[in-house]
Amino acid sequence: MRFDVLTLFPEMVEQFCNYSIMKRAKERDVFSLNVVNPRDFTLDKHKKVDDTPYGGGAGMVLMAQPYVDAYESIAQADNTVTIMLSPQGEPLTDKIVNELSKVEQIILLCGHYEGFDERIRDIIKPREISIGDFVLTGGELPALCLIDAVSRKLEGTLGKIESAEEDSFSNGLLEYPHYTKPREYRGLKVPDVLLNGNHKEINDFRYAESLERTKKRRPDLYEKFIKTSS
């Protein structure tokens, strides 16, 4: 897997991927990361990447030329998906993450300011994906969410123990409560069932807790789970 990220802030993306599990996966060549700055493709001496919007209004718009040229400088594999991170995109889900984990290359376009000149979309025709309905200052964090989510699905990223745990969200339910040492903290005790070594009882307890938690906190997920499991 190869990720190519078009961003005006390449250090943000590079830095984030140099920690913990992502760093380890990159070192093991599970994926590679190539960051491209559209500013390096500007043609004027001020390296201008944005300008005021036609028709007026607040803010700045990202110019088409630096983004399109930066995009065209990237070597494409046979099986490449280009994604624009955008509040107008389809919501990112575990299903989409699974689909994306099967391609050879993902090219990600991060916006800033008010967003992209529409002709970037007209020319590149990216798939548009959103990580949620809130306002951000840039598309870097959404791109990093996607890279993080996709890379942990790749063979060799997670250890045996971590991947055994993989079901937690793919089964459509929220996680059951977790406990570690000590057995008692500030008068709060770990539930006895987790200490008795009966794995059938432990699994039943955890499943019941998952169900209850999902019903209470995410009735939308709960309804979906009940419908698809019956």
**Active-site residues: which are they?**
87, 114, 152, 167
Burial class from Cβ neighbours inside 10 Å (0-12, 13-18, 19+) for residue 62 reads buried
53 near ligand 4G1, judged by CB under 6 A: no
SS3 167: helix
142 near ligand 4G1, judged by CB under 6 A: yes
135 near ligand 4G1, judged by CB under 6 A: yes
172 near ligand 4G1, judged by CB under 6 A: no
Q: Which is nearer to ligand 4G1, 37 or 214 (CB)?
A: 37
Strand-strand pairing, 105-109 and 80-91: parallel
Per-residue binding letters, 148-167, with ligand 4G1 (x by CB under 6 A): --------------------
DSSP secondary-structure letter at 46? T
Member of 66, 68, 106, 112 binding ligand 4G1 (CB under 6 A): 112
87 near ligand 4G1, judged by CB under 6 A: yes
Q: Cite the DSSP H helix spans in the chain.
A: 10-16, 20-27, 64-72, 94-100, 118-124, 140-151, 160-164, 167-170, 199-217, 219-229
Q: Which stretch binds ligand 4G1 (CB under 6 A): 11-19, 70-78, 138-146, 164-172?
A: 138-146
Separation of alpha carbons 182 and 45, rounded Å:
62
